[in-house]
Amino acid sequence: MEFGKLLSCKTEGNRVLLHFEKADGRLEVITDKILNVFSGVVSQEHRSKAIEGEKANGASFTVTPAIGEGKGEACVTISTQSVTAKVFDEFKVDFYAADGRVLCRDYRKERRRAAGLSDEMKALKASEGHQVEEEDGSEGIQVIKRMEGDESFYGLGDKTGFLDKRGYEYVMWNTDDPAPQMDNFKSLYKSIPFFITLRKDAVFGLFFDNPYRSCFDMGKESDDYYWYGVSDGNLDYYLIAGDNMAEVLGNYTYLTGTAPLPQKWTLGYQQSRWSYMTEEEIRSVAKKMRECGIPCDAIHLDIDYMDGYRVFTWNKDRYDSPEKMMEDLAKDGFKIVTIIDPGVKLDEGYSVYDEGVEKGYFATTPEGEIYVNAVWPGDAVYPDFGRPAVREWWGKNQRFLLDKGVRGVWNDMNEPASFRGELPANVVFTDEDEKADHARMHNLYGHNMAKATYEGLKKQDGRRPFVITRACYAGTQKYSTAWTGDNHSIWAHLQMVIPQLCNLGMSGMPFVGTDVGGFGSDCTKELMCRWVEAAAFSPLFRNHSAVGTRYQEPWQFDEETLDIYRKAVKLRYRLIPYLYDLFFEGETTGLPIMRPLVLHYEKDATVRNLNGEFLVGENLLAAPVVNPGERVKTVYLPEGEWYDYRTKEKVEGGRFLVKDAPLDTCPLYVKAGTVLPVWPEMNYTDEKDTDSELLLEVFPGSGSFDHYQDDGETFAYRDGAFNRYRCELTQDGRLTVTCVHGGYEKKYRKVRVLCLGKEAEGAFEEGKCEIRL
């Protein structure tokens, strides 16, 4: 896209309107630390799906134009208290911190493109079965930023590979590819066009809010620059500043939204399989879970519970009474989560199809015919989720599941997947109030489906909706949790768990997980043991496997594996109060639950690309073994004092150490001064009363922590119906727990403390409890 020379500028509200020779653009001041660069190609306004509501907060700024003065290149300088943007000819924009430090600058030279293959060479390469890469679709609009020298890049959603994305190239195009995903995969199920750049002297984020197919080259093509290119749509990106990585992420989620607090049971262990085929099998799995002492809160039903894979139906031959089954399971603490795909079976007489046809709710060909492809039920049609009326209709259909007792909805195949080739780019969809095509709506399809599901469940059930999605876009975290899709039972995919989930968290999606044990291929017992030890700390904790592969329920292996599995799941349940606190905090701050060490130790060069360990919150460090045969783990502890969670040994940080890690152990460390809320043993999240006594594990040192208490289910907490307890620990061993907000009717009566093998307790008096350790 060409702009030419900068001719003039004027200010309207929070916008600086920029007139160039060949096109117009503008720079918008959203907040003191968020600036938007925009030029309308397909629309003159943003039409964002990621950003909802007005975000500009009236931040003050100054504009200093230097145009037509005969002193060289034209320049407009826009400055807030925190950030300065300098706009030049060709709409080149450089950003600086308030003290003059460079954040990012546009690259002024031409890209050094690699020579493409001739058609003859492409054919020759394909003849042996090699994949011939498609065009990246980046020629419409390009933003090329200069590499300042020591950049590391984080985020970009669920891309494969390692934590630091420097040197790699990715394509934002939601893709259903069940092949074993490796470092060289450019696209997966999710498109989140946001990343954080970290340098020694600067940190910032860039969010490119354009849903068309796009390319992100993070220095693969050249060490001199990194670039973004998109095939169509608007030039629309945000510079997001902050004093540190956590603040940048908080500012990004200010724009795109934070994940709402989930129901507490959703943090428990969840068991799945493609497929548990009958009611008898479901009951048997639940019974075996309790017999084996594996805590579990949910069982997932894959596509075979439906009648001929028709969404919002139930197979009566396999299930005598799903309502009775769910009622019985609920008495023993189990919830049922059901899969739903977007593809609606083309079947006259099937009510969902008939109503969608009658009301014109399905995507069409350019000629106006309903577009037909194929998924599980065979010939299928695709709801046009970009239309508000279609989302409302889809949301109302959730009533079928709720009436039977379903407690969560798992959205799959929503890239959208299709068995007869990808949907053509010109299939007609809707973007709210105007016609659009598949090229524009593809990456938004899963997002809009998640929104429809979430809003339907919220309206009809009232409780916090539990929605899982495979495909998403930026901002989907407001509506859904996510899993990383069809992984495999291979060690490479266990190794990928840590950087993949951490980067999803750094992309604004905190409630995420992988299929524990792997979905495709066959899991070995050693791989299963190591996977569950790592996944016990992931926000979404679900074991799932594919038809035709080895069953992965923990008792399917041997007694040793069962014991190790039980130990890991019990540790997860012990830590649920801590995880719940992190979710409560995250709804305000945007911080994830599972965090790379670099998020809190960005000045420590050792953790820039540390892929074998992670933080849970700020105070817990997990270093799982992710290689076969290893029984020791090299662990890096950041600066400060730490405690081995199991042995209670005190360890000085700022160094590597070698830790014994037998098959039943994931090295786990706690920062000195930590107050860790925990639970007693239980089989499911609401088995026992946890509202009378606050159980705390304390690790000596100085620190503070906020613990939250609410009903764990409804949205009443948003109206103040929660209790917040400030836990303050001093270096000399005094612990004070103070109720600083008391809006929930149930309150703790006493506090019991476990500290390095010693116990102490105290009672609340006038909202405060003091204990000497």
d(CA 562, CA 555): 6
What are the φ/ψ torsions at residue 31 (nearest 5 degrees)? -140, 180
The owner of tokens 């600036």 is 35
- Sign of the CA dihedral 120, 121, 124, 125? negative
Answer whether the bond into residue 222 is a cis peptide, omega within 30°. no
How far, in Å, CA of 710 to CA of 464, rounded? 13
Residue 575 · residue 546 · CB < 8 Å: no
C-alpha dihedral sign at 412, 415, 418, 419: negative
Q: Distances in Å between the alpha carbon of 740 and those of 40, 140, 390, 726, 761?
A: 48, 54, 44, 7, 20
Cα-based torsion angle of the residue sequence 731, 592, 485, 458 in order, rounded to the nearest 10 degrees: 120
Nearest to 648 by CA among 612, 674, 613, 681: 674
Catalytic residues: 412, 415, 486
CA–CA dist 512, 164 (Å, integer) = 19
Can you tell me the distance from the alpha carbon of 761 to that of 618, in angstroms, rounded to the nearest whole number? 26
What length is written for the chain? 773
- What CA–CA distance (Å, rounded) separates 228 from 518? 32
194 within 8 A of 170, measured Cβ to Cβ = no
265 phi and psi angles, rounded to 5 deg: -65, -25
Closest CA to 196 of 138, 157, 149, 230: 157
Q: Beta strand 620-622 with 434-437: parallel, antiparallel or unpaired? A: unpaired
- Which residues lie across from 15 on neighbouring strands? 12, 28
Token pair in block for residue 43: 């629309």
CB 371 within 8 A of CB 412: no
Q: Which token pair is 304?
A: 């075979």
In this structure, the dihedral spanned by the alpha carbons of residues 453, 455, 456 and 458, taken in order and rounded to 10 degrees, is 120
Distance separating alpha carbons of residues 506 and 496, to the nearest angstrom: 15
Using DSSP, state whether 479 is helix, strand or coil: coil
Do 177 and 488 touch, CB atoms closer than 8 A? no
SS3 346: coil
- Three-class SS of 635-663: EEECCCEEEECCCCCEEECCEEEEEECCC
Distance CA 112, CA 221 (A): 7
